[in-house]
C-alpha cells in the first residue's frame, strides 16, 4: 500500500507531519510559500516547491492567488512526483497560513488533473485566537465543495487534551496523526497472514473503503491485552467508536466501513471469541454501511489483539457546531469592544462569506 499513497505537505504544519510520514517510508513532497519554513529539514531539494517565498499573512485570498499564479509550476511538480494510479493526500493546518490557504485550491487542481485526492486537515488550537478559527472554518467550507476521495480531520484541541502539554507536544500530536493515518494502510502489511477467522481484506476492498468519499473518513486503532479480554460491551463499544483524531462523529451515518482484527500467530479460543464480539458490535452499530471485515495473524503481536476500524461517508463531527457558535459569540464581543472587524476577517468575509452569519452552513 505504500506504493499507492503520495503525501504532499503544505505549509509549516503540513511539512512537519509529512516529514514523519516520510520517515515511515511513504513518498512525500513539500510545498510552501515561505523560505524560512523549509529550513532545517533533511529533504532532497527537488522534492520541495517554494511558491513566491514571502508567506501569505494568514490571508486565504492571498494563498489562493499564489496557487493560481503558479498553476503551471504546481502541475509540473505533481506530475513529476505523484502516482496518478494511486491516492495523493494533501496535508495542512487549517489556521490560514500557507497550508490552510493553499489546500482548497490545491485539491481542486489535483482533481482537475485527474488524481484521486485526499486531505488530512488539522483544526487549530483555540489558543491561536479568532482569526485562525475563522480561517479554518472557511477552509473547511471550501473543501466541502471539492469531491474528495478521502477527508480526515484532526482536532488539535482534542489531541492536546489527550496527550497533555509537554516540551514536545507538537511532535506528539503530529506522531498521533501519522500513526492513525498509516494504520489504515498497515492493514495489508506484508508480515500479516489471513488464515484464521472471518476472512481477509484485500487491496481493492481497502482502497474502496478509504476512498469511498461522499463525506468524511475516520480511523481508530487500538490494542486489547489478555487481562482485558473480558471487557464489558459498554467499554468495548467506547474503545471502538472513540476517534483518535476528532470527537463527535455519528458512526450510524457511515456508508462504508472496514473492521480488521489482528491476533497473535499463537492464539487461543479467547482471541477468536473477542474478535467475534468486535465484529458483531461493529455490525450492529454501522449495520447499513458496506461491510468489509477481516482477520489476520501478525507475528509481531505478543498476546494482544489489535483492532483497526475505518468508517467512510460520515457527516461533519458535532464539535464543529460548537466552534461556529463560539466563533459567532467571540466575533460579536470583538465588534462591540472595538466597533470594527479585524482587516484579515473582513478580507476572508469578502472572499467566501462569513461564518458569523446566522445561516452559515457547510452544506
Residues 345 and 265 in one domain: no
**pLDDT tier at 243 (50, 70, 90 boundaries)?**
confident
Report the pLDDT averaged over residues 353-363. 49
Residues 120 and 225 in one domain: no
What pLDDT sits at residue 57?
67
Report the pLDDT averaged over residues 30-36. 85
Among 161-170, 251-260, 281-290, the minimum mean pLDDT is found in 161-170
Residues 18 and 166 in one domain: yes
Query: Are the C-beta atoms of residues 291 and 283 closer than 8 Å to each other?
Result: yes
pLDDT tens, position by position, 265-307: 999 999 999 999 999 999 999 978 899 999 999 999 999 999 9
CATH number for position 309: 3.30.1330.20
What pLDDT sits at residue 333?
58
- Parent domain of 237: 192-314
Is 359 domain-assigned?
Answer: no
Residues 306 and 336 in one domain: no
Query: Are the C-beta atoms of residues 27 and 8 closer than 8 Å to each other?
Result: no
Residues 216 and 172 in one domain: no
What pLDDT sits at residue 360?
52
Is 115 domain-assigned?
Answer: yes
Residues 230 and 332 in one domain: no
Three cell numbers, residue 70: 503558479
> Would you give the distance in Å from CA 231 to the centre of its chain?
29
Report the pLDDT averaged over residues 249-265. 94
Is 358 domain-assigned?
Answer: no
CATH number for position 30: 3.40.50.1440
Residues 143 and 277 in one domain: no
What pLDDT sits at residue 63?
83
Of the residues 143, 163, 185, the one at which a domain ends: 185
pLDDT tens, position by position, 201-230: 999 999 999 999 778 999 999 999 999 999
Is 70 domain-assigned?
Answer: yes
pLDDT tens, position by position, 302-332: 999 999 999 999 988 887 776 666 666 655 5
**In the predicted model, is pLDDT for residue 150 greater than 90?**
yes
What pLDDT sits at residue 207?
95
What pLDDT sits at residue 347?
44
Is 20 domain-assigned?
Answer: yes
Residues 87 and 127 in one domain: yes
> Would you give the distance in Å from CA 157 to the centre of its chain?
14
Of the residues 185, 212, 240, the one at which a domain ends: 185
Q: Measured between alpha carbons, how far is 59 from 38 in angstroms, rounded to an integer?
A: 20
Q: Measured between alpha carbons, how far is 249 from 243 in angstroms, rounded to an integer?
A: 8
pLDDT tens, position by position, 35-64: 777 777 888 999 999 987 566 667 788 888
**In the predicted model, is pLDDT for residue 346 greater than 70?**
no
Residues 173 and 61 in one domain: yes
Distances (CA, A) of 2 to 14, 86, 88, 150, 184: 19, 10, 12, 16, 11
Q: Supply the mean pLDDT for the chain.
A: 85
Residues 229 and 325 in one domain: no
Residues 52 and 172 in one domain: yes
> What pTM was estimated for this model as a whole?
0.87
Residues 176 and 44 in one domain: yes
What pLDDT sits at residue 263?
94
Query: Are the C-beta atoms of residues 78 and 113 closer than 8 Å to each other?
Result: yes
Is 363 domain-assigned?
Answer: no
Q: Domains in the chain: how many in total? A: 3
Query: Are the C-beta atoms of residues 11 and 98 closer than 8 Å to each other?
Result: yes
Is 138 domain-assigned?
Answer: yes
What pLDDT sits at residue 127?
58
DSSP tag of 124: P
Q: Return the number of other C-beta atoms located less than 10 Å from residue 357's C-beta.
A: 10
Of the residues 185, 220, 237, the one at which a domain ends: 185
**pLDDT tier at 133 (50, 70, 90 boundaries)?**
confident
Torsion of CA 90, 93, 96, 97, to 10 degrees: -80
Report the pLDDT averaged over residues 1-9. 94
Is 361 domain-assigned?
Answer: no
Amino acid at each position: 500500500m505504500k506504493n499507492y499513497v503520495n503525501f504532499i505537505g503544505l505549509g509549516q504544519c503540513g511539512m512537519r507531519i509529512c516529514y514523519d510520514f516520510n520517515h515511515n517510508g511513504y513518498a512525500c513532497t513539500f510545498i510552501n510559500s515561505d523560505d524560512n519554513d523549509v529550513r532545517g529539514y533533511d529533504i532532497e531539494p527537488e522534492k520541495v516547491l517554494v511558491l513566491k517565498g514571502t508567506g501569505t499573512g494568514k490571508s486565504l485570498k492571498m494563498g489562493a492567488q499564489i496557487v493560481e499564479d503558479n498553476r503551471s509550476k504546481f502541475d509540473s511538480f505533481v506530475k513529476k512526483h505523484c502516482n496518478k494510479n494511486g491516492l495523493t493526500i494533501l496535508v495542512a493546518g487549517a489556521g490560514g497560513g500557507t497550508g490552510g490557504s493553499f489546500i482548497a485550491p490545491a485539491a481542486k487542481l489535483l482533481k482537475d488533473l485527474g488524481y484521486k485526492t485526499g486531505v488530512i486537515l488539522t483544526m487549530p488550537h483555540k489558543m491561536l485566537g479568532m482569526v485562525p478559527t475563522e480561517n479554518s472554518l472557511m477552509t473547511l467550507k471550501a473543501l466541502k465543495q471539492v469531491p474528495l476521495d478521502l477527508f480526515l480531520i484532526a482536532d488539535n484541541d482534542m489531541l492536546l487534551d489527550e496527550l497533555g502539554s509537554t516540551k514536545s507536544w507538537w511532535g506528539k500530536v503530529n506522531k498521533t496523526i501519522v500513526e492513525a493515518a498509516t494504520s489504515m494502510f498497515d492493514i495489508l502489511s506484508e508480515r500479516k497472514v489471513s488464515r484464521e477467522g472471518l476472512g481477509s481484506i484485500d487491496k481493492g476492498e481497502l482502497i474502496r473503503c478509504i476512498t469511498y468519499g461522499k463525506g468524511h473518513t475516520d480511523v481508530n486503532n487500538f490494542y486489547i491485552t489478555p487481562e482485558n479480554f473480558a471487557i464489558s460491551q459498554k467499554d468495548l463499544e467506547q474503545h471502538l467508536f472513540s476517534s483518535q483524531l476528532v470527537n463527535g462523529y455519528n458512526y450510524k451515518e457511515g456508508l462504508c466501513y472496514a473492521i480488521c482484527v489482528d491476533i497473535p500467530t499463537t492464539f487461543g479460543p479467547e482471541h477468536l471469541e473477542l474478535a467475534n464480539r468486535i465484529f458483531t458490535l461493529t455490525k450492529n452499530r454501522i449495520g447499513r454501511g458496506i461491510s468489509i471485515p477481516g482477520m489476520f495473524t501478525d507475528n509481531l503481536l505478543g498476546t494482544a489483539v489489535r483492532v483497526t476500524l475505518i468508517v467512510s461517508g460520515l457527516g461533519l463531527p458535532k464539535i464543529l457546531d460548537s466552534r461556529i457558535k463560539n466563533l459567532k459569540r467571540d466575533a460579536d464581543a470583538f465588534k462591540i469592544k472595538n466597533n470594527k472587524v479585524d482587516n484579515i476577517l473582513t478580507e476572508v468575509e469578502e472572499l467566501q462569506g462569513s461564518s458569523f452569519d446566522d445561516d452559515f452552513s457547510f452544506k
